[in-house]
Amino acid sequence: MPTPRGPHHRRSHAVWDASLEPLSVVASGDEVEVVAQEASGGQLRPDSTADELLSLDMASLNPVVGPFAVEGARPGDALVVDVLSVGLDTWGWTALIPGFGLLADDFPEPYLRTSAVDSTPGGGGVQLLPDVVLPLSPMVGTLGVAPPEPGPHPVIPPTRWGGNLDVRDVGPGARVVLPVGVEGALFSLGDVHAVMGDGEVCGTGVETSAVVRVRLTVAPGRAPRSPVVITDRQSLRLETTVATTGVGPDLMEGARDAVRQAVDLLVEERGVSREDAYLLLSLAADLRVSEVVDAPSWVVTCHVPRRLLAGWPHV
């Protein structure tokens, strides 16, 4: 992980709460730099085993650094967050946590892979499996502001005030526009991924610590109804894919059907375990809603990079 430049911040918390004391007060337009811990909050290490997932303190997961009070931010304003840089640590983890993820019922047992993260110029990315290297695509999974409702609110799930949005495109160069709910906004961020697919289907990306630098700017009276992401990179991966489908009247079931079929294809074609296939989809595949107009059936697609299924269907 790179050495932070100048003032930086580490203090983290695991809830949104308008009563939290600000970590720092900044002016509109200021840049802040934080050291964000990986999503386990230090409970997992490079030598951790799957059994440790069963004893995780779930209330401590997804810590965020902050809050930062922004001078002049008031309810009805927008807080514009420009992601300037994301400097990754040298390792990360991806896991199946019992009861969590799109196919939680299909994968009831804990499973964990730790991976080296090589972000040096010309580096190798993430070596998830012996024959699978994934290119880096750093992104910030959780960022948001304090809600106006009193009391603590969990970081997961997300709300109109932000939180664990897990939008793959929130990397360096992206801009996130958040509605301000309280005086000062009280902004926090965390949950960095070295790489993650749209949908994060198993519940985790390559979870890693990072040094993140952002700029915080107030746009008076411009609050959106919910967070808006302005991307600075291609939203769609620039590679050919094999897209499995889920068709039916329920979008969640359609998503599960598409991912199950993709798991089966990876197991058949690459000879990997079902667990590794599921992890791989969470990092490299993108879920999309492809059709919502032909009632009563909607279509969800799971786009798997074709290089992972080279040659299929072998005709």
> Do 218 and 253 fall into the same domain?
no
In a domain, 42, yes or no: yes
CA distance 53 to 252: 26
CA distance 274 to 292: 30
3-state secondary structure (DSSP) of residue 63: coil
Tell me the C-alpha to C-alpha distance, in Å, between residue 93 and each of 26, 53, 305.
33, 11, 21
In a domain, 187, yes or no: yes
> Do 287 and 229 fall into the same domain?
no
Q: What is the pLDDT along the chain (315 residues), one digit of tens a residue?
A: 666 555 557 889 999 999 999 999 999 999 999 999 999 999 999 999 999 999 999 999 999 999 999 999 999 999 999 999 999 999 999 999 999 999 999 999 999 999 999 998 877 899 999 999 999 999 999 999 999 999 999 999 999 999 999 999 999 999 999 999 999 999 999 999 999 999 999 999 999 999 999 999 999 999 999 999 999 876 667 689 999 999 999 999 999 999 999 999 999 999 999 999 999 999 999 999 999 999 999 999 999 999 999 889 988
In a domain, 7, yes or no: no
In a domain, 6, yes or no: no
> Do 216 and 118 fall into the same domain?
yes
The domain total for the chain is 2
In a domain, 186, yes or no: yes
> Do 150 and 17 fall into the same domain?
yes
Where among 234, 253, 286 does a domain terminate?
A: 234
pTM: 0.95
CB-based contact 66:123 (threshold 8 Å): no
> Do 117 and 132 fall into the same domain?
yes
Query: What is the span of the domain harbouring residue 264?
Result: 237-308
Phi-psi region of 231 (alpha: psi -120 to 50; beta: other; left: phi over 0): beta
